Amino acid sequence: MRNILAIIEREMRAYFSSPIAYVVLTIFVFLSGVFFRTILAQVMQMGLISQMQAQQFGPRPMDMPGMISRGFLSTMSVILLFMIPMITMGLFSEEKKRGTIELLLTAPLTDLQVVIGKFFAAGTFFLILLVSTWVPMSVLYFYGSPASGPILTAYLGLLLYGLSIIAIGVFISTLTENQIISAVLSFGVIMLLWLVDVMASQAESTSKEVLTYLSILSHLDDFTKGVLATSHIVFYLSLMLVALFLTYRSIDSLRWRG
């Protein structure tokens, strides 16, 4: 346990001693601010329209804070698709390039501990990103009283979703010594899992069901609506486990190949 913590700690220091952490954080915070404003404006306008309609057709209830948080958090899920490869790209590829992997793989650590350490290191950084979205979100609490249930489930969904993308990124970073290739490859794979959604909307019957199930985004919908369904949780957890298992195997094969 202590050595896993040591790996996480070292990785966090590495993030913050390179520009990557700052670039990712800055872009993320900036974009989340911009998107929050845009969504806020859109929802307000819709609110205004529905008020005018209410004068003609009688009042209809509208959950404005809920709409805002839902819109905002699902936008964040898209932005995260772009950010996470930057968090995971160097995890193993840098170690391979610098030869420090030889230290990790000859220390009295199991390969599993190394994999878990790396995964949680990226997970910790991701958590910082997630927490930073509370800055715009708190606005909702200042000026209204949004229902906390859906917000909490949405965050849980984002957490599971982010961690499974991270697991994919961790796996891909074991495949190459080059950070850029690692990032681009991860991005490509994640994009593919995302595009499945689009393909699903054009497909028919069974293939539609299969494609919808494979899409990493479709499983997020229910979370943002405040629904906690086991099937979605199972989906993300299994994606995570499969990717981490592949990472573990990839390190084993790295040892054989030298």
Partner 1 sequence: MISVENLTKRYAAKTAIENVSFKVNSGEILGFLGPNGAGKTTTMRIIVGYMPASEGSVRVDGFEVFDNPLDVRRRIGYLPENPPLYLEMTVTGYLRFVAKIKGVPKERLDSEVTRVMERVSVSDVKERIIGKLSKGYKQRVGLAQALINDPPVLILDEPTIGLDPKQIHEVRELIKELAGKHTVVLSTHILPEVEQTCHRVIIIDRGKIIAVDTPQNLRFQLQGVERVHMEVDGPVADVISKLKATPGVMDVHKLTESDGRCRLQIEGQLRKDIRSELARTVVQSGWGLLELQSATMSLEDIFLKLTTAEEEGKVGT
**Residue 253 touches partner 1, criterion: CB under 8 A:** no
154 binds partner 1 (CB under 8 A): no
67 binds, among ligand ATP, partner 1, none (CB under 5 to 8 A by kind): none
Dist. CA 51–CA 62, nearest whole Å:
10
CB of 118 to partner 1, least distance (A): 13
Residue 58 binds ligand ATP, judged by CB under 6 A: no
**Of ligand ATP, partner 1, none, which one does residue 256 interact with (CB within 5 to 8 Å by kind)?**
partner 1
Which residue lies nearer to ligand ATP by CB, 60 or 257? 257
Member of 26, 42, 110, 238 binding partner 1 (CB under 8 A): 110
Among partner 1, ligand ATP, none, the one that 60 touches (CB under a kind-dependent 5 to 8 A) is none
HEC sequence for the chain: CHHHHHHHHHHHHHHHHCHHHHHHHHHHHHHHHHHHHHHHHHHHHHHHHHHHHHHHHCCCCCCHHHHHHHHHHHHHHHHHHHHHHHHHCCCCHHHHHHCCHHHHCCCCCCHHHHHHHHHHHHHHHHHHHHHHCHHHHHHHHHHCCCCHHHHHHHHHHHHHHHHHHHHHHHHHHCCCCCHHHHHHHHHHHHHHHHHHHHHHHHCCHHHHHHHHHHCCCHHHHHHHCCCCCHHHHHHHHHHHHHHHHHHHHHHHHHHHHC
Among 60, 108, 204, 230, binds partner 1 (CB under 8 A): 108
Residues 66 to 105 in contact with partner 1, rule: CB under 8 A: 98-105
Does position 207 interact with partner 1 (CB under 8 A)? The reply is no
Least distance (Å) between residue 258 CB and ligand ATP: 3
Q: Which of 55, 57, 61, 106 binds partner 1 (CB under 8 A)?
A: 106
Binding stretches for partner 1 (CB under 8 A): 2-3, 5-7, 9-10, 13-14, 17-18, 98-110, 255-258
Binding stretches for ligand ATP (CB under 6 A): 257-258
